[in-house]
Amino acid sequence: MSTAVTLDAPCFVICTPMSSPLDWDLARQRSELLELMRTLCYREGDFKLSSGQSSSYYIDSKKATLHPLGALLAGSLLYERLPEGTAAIGGLTLGADPIVTAVAVVSALRHPAGGVGAFIVRKEVKKHGSQQWIEGPSLAVGTPVVIVDDVVTTGASGLQAAEKAEEAGLKVVKILALVDRHQGGGALYAGRGYPFEALYSIEEFRSR
C-alpha cells in the first residue's frame, strides 16, 4: 500500500518496493524530477546569488534534494552519469551535501557489495580536531572522483571543490550539476580540463 507524506509542499507519494521510482526508466525519472523542481524550487523575483550577481529568478535546489522523492531521483540520475571507475562523489557544502548522500545511497541500492563513497568539501578549513578541508572516507592518492554542484552559475563553487579535492591528491574526472544557468560555469570547467554535464538547463525552468 502506498503511503502519502505531508510536507511543506504538494503531496507526493512514496511508492512501495513493488513500484519503486528506481524502477522507472531514466526519461520518466528525469521528467518527474524536473516537475518536482519546477514546483518546489523555481521562483521569480529579485535575488542575490552566491556569486554576488543579481538575478530575476532563483532555484532553491535543496527543497527538492531534501525531499524524499527528489533525493531518490536526483541520486539515481546523477549516479547514471558517473564515469566508469568513479570511486567517490563530493562537492562544496551546503548545496552538494544532500546530493552526494543521495548518489551514495542509490549506488549501494544498485550494487549492495560496492557503490561509491561520498565526501564533503568545507568552505573553510576545520579549526579544531583534524583541521581538514574534506569530510568523508579516507581516499588514496589518485582515487578517481566526481564533483557535483546543485546549480551552476559562474562555476566558482564547483571549481573550489575540485581544487581542494586535487590538493588532497584525488583525481577529478568530471563535474556534474543539477542545473546549468549558462552564465559561464561550463566554460570555466572546460578551460580547466574538466568534463561537465548538467541534468537540466535553466531554459527548461523558464520556458514552463
Residue 182 labeled ligand binder: no
Does the annotation place 150 within a ligand binding site? yes
Asked whether the beta carbons of 118 and 105 are under 8 A apart, the reply is no
List of long-range contacts for 2-6, beta carbons under 8 Å, 24+ apart: 5/68
Strands (E), 73-182: 88-92, 117-121, 134-135, 144-152, 171-180
Instruction: Determine if residue 156 is labeled as part of a ligand binding site.
Output: yes
Sign of the C-alpha dihedral computed for residues 37, 2, 77 and 85 taken in this order: positive
Instruction: Tell me: is residue 38 an annotated ligand-binding position.
Output: no
75: amino acid identity, one letter: G
Does 153 carry a binding-site annotation? yes
Considering all CA atoms of the chain, what is the largest pairwise distance in Å, rounded to the nearest integer? 51
Is 157 annotated as belonging to a binding site? yes
Q: Is 48 annotated as a binding residue?
A: no
Question: 123 a known binding residue?
Answer: yes
Q: Does 111 show up as a binding residue in the annotation? A: no
136 is in an annotated binding site: no
Tell me the binding residues for orotate: 153, 181
Tell me the binding residues: 122-123, 126, 128, 149-157, 181
Tell me the binding residues for 5-phospho-alpha-D-ribose 1-diphosphate: 122-123, 126, 128, 149-157
